[in-house]
Structures are given as C-alpha cells and as structure tokens.
Amino acid sequence: MSVQLQAGLISAGVSTLILVLGELFLRQRARQEKKQGIQATYQKYTEPLALSSMDLFWRLREVFDTSGAGFYLQGQVHRTKFEHYKALSTLYRLAVVLGWIRALRRELFFLPGASKKTLKRLDDALHAFTSAFAEGGHVEVRRVASLMSLWSISASPSTEVVTQAGIRIDREQRRFLHEAQVADANQLSDDDQLRLCQTVADMLADVIECPRIAEGIVEETRHRAISCLAVREAWIYRDWQAAIGDLVLRDAQMGQRQFEVIGYKQFEAMGSNGEEEDRLWLRRLNTVIDDLDIGGDRTRDARIDQLGEIYMATARIIEALHNDDAARSRISPATMRAVEEALASSMAS
C-alpha cells in the first residue's frame, strides 16, 4: 500500500472519528441542557411553593392550637373584620398552594421530553396533600363501625368487606338524598329517615352476612343512626383541585416562570364581585373550612380530620423541599422546628 493511500485512509478515519465524537458531544450537551432546563423549572416553582406552604402551615398551626385560636372559622357569618379576614385569608392560602402545585405540574409536564422523575422527591408529599382534600374512604369505614356498634352487630368482617359496605351505604344515602331533594339526612322527614335507616340496616346486614336488624330496633335508634349517617363532608376532587389551581394562576408578565399566582387583593375581589363561575370554585373550596369547629365532634364532622391531614401534608411538603437542598434552603430554622414538632406529634397520636 502506497504512502499516499495510507495517508488518505488515516485522514478519512480521523475525519470520521471527529464527526462521530462531535455528534456525541452535541447530543450529550443537548441532554445536559435539557436536564438543566428541567431542574431550573423545578427550582423556580419550588421556591414559591415552599413560601406558600410555610404561610399555610403557620395558619393551620394556629387553627389547631389547643387554646382555641382558630375560632374564626366557626360560624357562617363572621361578625368582625378580623374574623372575616382570617377566614378569607385561610381560604386564600389553601388556594395558593393548590395554584403553585398546579403550575409546577403544568410547566414541567408540558416540557418536551420532561421526566416526571424530576419531581420524585416531592411526589409523596404532594400526593398526601391532594389526597387529604379528595379522599374520604376512612369516613365510610368509620360510619360502618358506628352503625355496627349502634345496632350491636357482633360480626367481625374483613377490612375489604367493611370498605365495600361503607361504599354501598354512602352511595345509597346519596341516591336517597338526591331523590328527596335535600342536602343532609337531618333534613329528611321522620318517615323518610326511618326508610333510609331501614334500607341501610338491611344493606349492611346483607354485605357483612349477619342477621337483619329488627324493624323495632331500627325505629328505636333512628335518631342516633341518622347522626352516624349525616357526617359533614367536603371532599375536593382532584379535577376540582386542578380547576381551583388554574383559577388563581396568571401568565407571568416577566421573569423566568410561565405562571404566577394572583395576590390577595385580586383574590378578595374575585370572591366578592368576580364572575359567578369563578366564585363557584371558591365556594367549593370554602366548604372545607366553612363553619368549622376544630374542637367539635370528629365523628360528626369529617372536615376536622381532613384539615388536620392537610396540615400534616403541608408540613411534609416543607420537609421535602428543605431536605432537597438543606444548605441553600430558605426555610427558617423556626419553621423546620415547628414542622418536625408537628410531624412527631402526628406520629405519636
């Protein structure tokens, strides 16, 4: 082989190698830039999420203070400006956290090729937060347990059977109330209350496979059975949460974020003289805290435990965001101490 041919082959090989290495470098650089872009997006939304979560955490800490500091949620009509402000600002803080969660998910999930793994560190905490708003299976189980105790049913059904019974009773009660055009079992006539109780008693006996409850016992215990059935609930389904989040989001006019959350002034105006469609979503969210007595009977008002779970989930969001980068975390030591105290108390109870 001539020297010229060898030189040509070497030159061609080197050129090919340079092209291959160059392509690999460009691809690696593109992947790195995409990764950095996702991380930057994650960072620019987790910071306001952390701040809004802290605001909500401290408010809920006040609400659950055993001294009764959260009295301002009680009553449908707030007599003083202070009570009105505290109730409305609590609603605002709930909506703001939903807004930042919605913004984070919208922008990250809509980025081309964005990986959901980027959010893994927050997933559990965010899931706990949305679940606290949306899921009430424990209420259905508690209702079954209360009715079984009331009617002295000695059977020991499995968890699956109790859950099934709770779902069927809840569905039957909703159908019954819808047909009677009332919102609550307490609003039914005496005859309708008795019919509902008998239907529920028969259904419960059939599901857990025990003898049916005598009509006389059902009639005698009607008032207490209605109390078990008429648990106050206010579940905000996940699609509703997304809609409420969208409601408080606006396109950012400047800066790196695509979305911003509206301020308290705009929120207050929306609630008082906004579009009826917007006010509908605020009313739905408000059902969680409307006329809520934290010191009341938890078996009669499921919202007490619901708000408590939202409180704990908010603490977990703060903890997750802080632990993600503790060295640069903007979450104050006082807040972290309060978060750790709240979570420890929850674990102990």
**Tens digits of per-residue pLDDT, 45-55?**
888 999 999 99
Q: Is the pLDDT of residue 36 over 60?
A: no
Q: Write down the pLDDT at residue 87.
A: 93
Encode pLDDT of 234-277 as tens digits: 999 999 999 999 999 999 877 678 899 999 999 999 999 999 99
**305 with 131: CB under 8 angstroms?**
no
Helices (H), 275-302: 276-286
Q: What distances in angstroms separate CA 201 from CA 106, 207, 213, one per listed residue?
A: 46, 10, 6
pLDDT grade for 33, boundaries at 50, 70 and 90: very low
Rounded to the nearest 10 degrees, the angle between the axes of helix 120-134 and helix 238-247 is 100
Which residues make beta-bridge pairs with 261? Answer: 249
Nearest residue to 139 (alpha-carbon basis) of 295, 299, 283, 270 = 299
d(CA 257, CA 108): 11
Give me 38's structure tokens: 């996702």
Residue whose token pair is 């006082």: 334
End-to-end CA distance of the chain, in Å?
A: 86
pTM for the full predicted model: 0.81
Residue 311: closest CA among 294, 330, 329: 294
Q: Is residue 303's pLDDT more than 60?
A: yes
